[in-house]
Amino acid sequence: MTDLLIIGAGPGGYKAAAHAAKHGLKVTIIEEGHVGGTCLNVGCIPTKTYVHSATFEDARERMAQVVPQLRQGVEGILSHPNITLVRGKASFVDAHTVSTPDGQTFTADNIIIATGSTSKMLNIGPLPTSPRGGEGCALPSSEARLSPSGEQGRGPVVDSTGLLQLDALPKRLCIIGAGVIGMEFASVFNRFGAEVTVIEFLKECLPALDSDIAKRLRKQMEKQGVTFYMGAGVKSLSPIPSPVREGGTREGTLVFFEQKGKELSVEADVVLVATGRKPRTEGLNLEAACITLAPNGTIPVDEHFEVAPSNLPEGRLTDRTVSPSGDERGALFAIGDVNGKQMLAHAAEMQGIHVVNRILGIEDNIRFDVMPAAIFTSPEAACVGPSEDQLKEQGTPYECHKSFYRANGKALAMNETEGMVKLCTEPGEGRILSAHIFGAHAADLVQEVTAYITLGATLQQLRDTVHIHPTLSEVLIEVN
């Protein structure tokens, strides 16, 4: 018997395990792949290694060093005497019991599901995986690529995991989707020297970002050489016809799409499908724990990330463990990408910490409504709080305050003059509601504003705070 059972050792799961163990709980954590999850193995860390490498070859080399080093660090954290790390795929037997394929079973009052997400694929039928394959076939699942067995998708149509496994820089990369993952890879592969085309269904990239900021970032990336087709829907993909290939001059994939009623196509050596991520619940046998998925595939949870009783089938409530707030038998929680609330590594971590605090009866003041996010393009973009577009839609009264990097001494000294800050406040320069920034080190600047918003500070209090000169952070107090 263990106090807490956690399924998945990504940032949500392993941080929760460490926090619980530190507070004296006996924890069992089950992981079917590498510890560190998507973030460490095929997400945040590898992509940021690419962002901070000069060439594709350097990036490959550094990723091969950085990822195992960090993985070792996580294994070190999980070697705490209160933590048992079990290798295997977990599956529910009932609401208190989980088993692994080698026949082990584990029982706990409190169980945290932290199984993360996988890439969403395009709904346009079969995709080609090999330029020589002739007929199209389905892209291998990301589960396979996250597994320690090292199965890899190396075809010309890949998801983000497959792209990180390419041995050579593609000459022409076509990216379907201008969300965070698509934009980050567009920026970095363009810098490495690939010819990058991005096709996006929506009118503007990065829908969570202020549309003004998103447009400026896209224009900047266009100047750097990335080609964008916005408001364009991909219709089909097909391998380049055999006669052409046999001529020895062209191979790859043709991406057919429609923009403003016109049929267009792009040729690419590699196609990255970056159309979002979906919760990972396959094989968990959630029915045994009486958990019903929401129509979008997420595990529905309440504001404390407890699997909401309202989502359980009627009459089954007594089968289920419930709640630090109710039944003494404990509860089922779902944190991180699998609940679909905020698909970010730091959101998963903080949700895990909050759940453990609930189990321990510790009050915390984590503000899940103040969730900063960054896009590590060149230059960066980052945001916290609602965009100006969202404030307008909600009918929330606000004031918008702007400043530009070109007027900041440090930005000029760094030759990083492209950038803009947008702060929205309550009317009368009241409490700060949000910050949307594009420009060098935008993530760091947004982090500062996140602290002000969390503490309910006003724009005047931000202005009254002494900022080191010369720093980029002065751009915040330079807003109009």
* Cβ pair 408, 472 in contact under 8 A: yes
- Reading the block at residue 317, the tokens are 């409530």
Q: Quote the CA–CA distance of 199 and 234 in Å, as a whole number.
A: 8
Q: Quote the CA–CA distance of 341 and 158 in Å, as a whole number.
A: 26
> Considering CB under 6 A, how many residues would be counted as binding ligand FAD?
38
Binding mask 105-124 for ligand FAD (x = CB under 6 A): ---------xxxx-------
Q: Could you tell me the smallest distance in angstroms from the CB atom of residue 287 to ligand FAD?
A: 14
Choose, by CB under 6 A, the member of 21, 270, 344, 411 that binds ligand FAD.
Answer: 344
* Residue 28 touching ligand FAD (CB under 6 A): no
Q: Could you tell me the smallest distance in angstroms from the CB atom of residue 12 to ligand FAD?
A: 3
Considering only the stretches 39-47, 123-131, 133-141, 362-370, report the one whose residues sit in contact with ligand FAD under the rule CB under 6 A. Answer: 39-47
Per DSSP, helices labelled H in 247-338 are none
Choose, by CB under 6 A, the member of 3, 31, 195, 306 that binds ligand FAD.
Answer: 31
Q: Quote the CA–CA distance of 121 and 79 in Å, as a whole number.
A: 36
**Number of Cβ atoms within 10 Å of the Cβ of 440:** 22
Return the residues of window 281-340 that contact ligand FAD according to CB under 6 A.
283-284, 336-338
* Cβ pair 421, 475 in contact under 8 A: yes
Instruction: Report the b/e string of 159-197 with b at 16+ CB within 10 A.
Output: bbbbbbbbeebbebbbbbbbbbbbbbbbbbbbbbebbbb
Q: Where are the beta strands (DSSP E) in 126-230?
A: 157-158, 172-176, 195-199, 227-229
Using the minimum distance from each CB to ligand FAD, give the nearer residue, 221 or 479: 221
Instruction: Report the b/e string of 415-437 with b at 16+ CB within 10 A.
Output: ebebbbbbbbbeeebeebbbbbb
* Residue 8 touching ligand FAD (CB under 6 A): yes
Using the minimum distance from each CB to ligand FAD, give the nearer residue, 114 or 213: 114
* Residue 5 touching ligand FAD (CB under 6 A): no
Q: Provide the 3-class DSSP secondary structure of residue 265.
A: strand
* Residue 33 touching ligand FAD (CB under 6 A): yes
* Cβ pair 348, 335 in contact under 8 A: yes
Return the residues of window 86-105 that contact ligand FAD according to CB under 6 A.
89-90
Using the minimum distance from each CB to ligand FAD, give the nearer residue, 63 or 391: 63
Q: Could you tell me the smallest distance in angstroms from the CB atom of residue 336 to ligand FAD?
A: 2
* Cβ pair 300, 311 in contact under 8 A: yes
* Residue 166 touching ligand FAD (CB under 6 A): no
Q: Is 52 a catalytic residue?
A: no
Choose, by CB under 6 A, the member of 2, 21, 28, 32 that binds ligand FAD.
Answer: 32
Q: Could you tell me the smallest distance in angstroms from the CB atom of residue 292 to ligand FAD?
A: 18
* Residue 139 touching ligand FAD (CB under 6 A): no
Residues that bind ligand FAD (CB under 6 A): 7-13, 30-33, 37-39, 43-44, 47, 89-90, 114-117, 146, 160, 181, 280, 283-284, 336-338, 343-346, 348, 376
Catalytic residues: 469
